[in-house]
């Protein structure tokens, strides 16, 4: 494999930027305030340009979304607060009727022990 030639100069994509560090250090207070004002004006202009661009993009995307989907999105957006309701039990122990399981999560120990050595399956513990 041939070696790559070493690049010289600026990396690709870099621009010839003037250094403002030294010029700012030599400015007096009035010049600095004017410079800051200019920068704030440039920033405000760029922010408004970007905002108008993004709002235009959003308006263009609005045509693709159906009213039904936007209504569903609006209904989901606020989020849910609080806890889930406790799941009703679906399985019950054969030996002790007070021991129950909702079917969520891992198989409980009592069910594993009752199934061990027998031909019982999970469906045999179902509450009817």
Q: Which residue has the tokens 């600026």?
A: 10
| Residue written as token pair 């054969």 | 94
pLDDT digits (tens, 9 = 90+) for 52-107: 999 988 888 876 665 556 666 665 566 677 888 899 999 999 999 999 999 999 99
Using CA atoms, how far residue 73 sits from 79, 83, 96, in Å, is 11, 22, 47
Where do the H-state alpha helices sit in 1-128? 21-26, 29-62, 67-76, 109-115
- The whole-angstrom separation of Cα 48 and Cα 55 is 10
Say which residue, 44 or 27, is predicted with more confidence. 44
Considering only the C-alpha atoms of the chain, give the largest distance between any 2 of them, rounded to a whole number of Å.
92
Q: What does the block give as tokens for 70? A: 């936007």
From CA 3, how far away is CA 12, in angstroms rounded? 19
């Amino acid at each position: 494999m041939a070696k790559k030639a070493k690049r010289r100069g600026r990396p690709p994509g870099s621009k010839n930027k003037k250094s403002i560090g030294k010029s700012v250090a030599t400015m007096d207070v009035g010049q600095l305030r004017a410079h800051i004002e200019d920068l704030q004006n440039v920033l405000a202009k760029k922010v408004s340009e970007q905002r108008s661009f993004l709002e235009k993009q959003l308006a263009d995307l609005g045509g693709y979304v159906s009213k039904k989907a936007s209504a569903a999105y609006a209904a989901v957006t606020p989020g849910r607060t609080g806890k889930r309701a406790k799941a009703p039990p679906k399985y019950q122990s054969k030996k002790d009727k007070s021991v129950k399981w909702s079917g969520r999560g891992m198989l409980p120990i009592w069910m594993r022990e009752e199934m061990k050595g027998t031909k019982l399956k999970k469906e045999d513990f179902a509450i009817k």
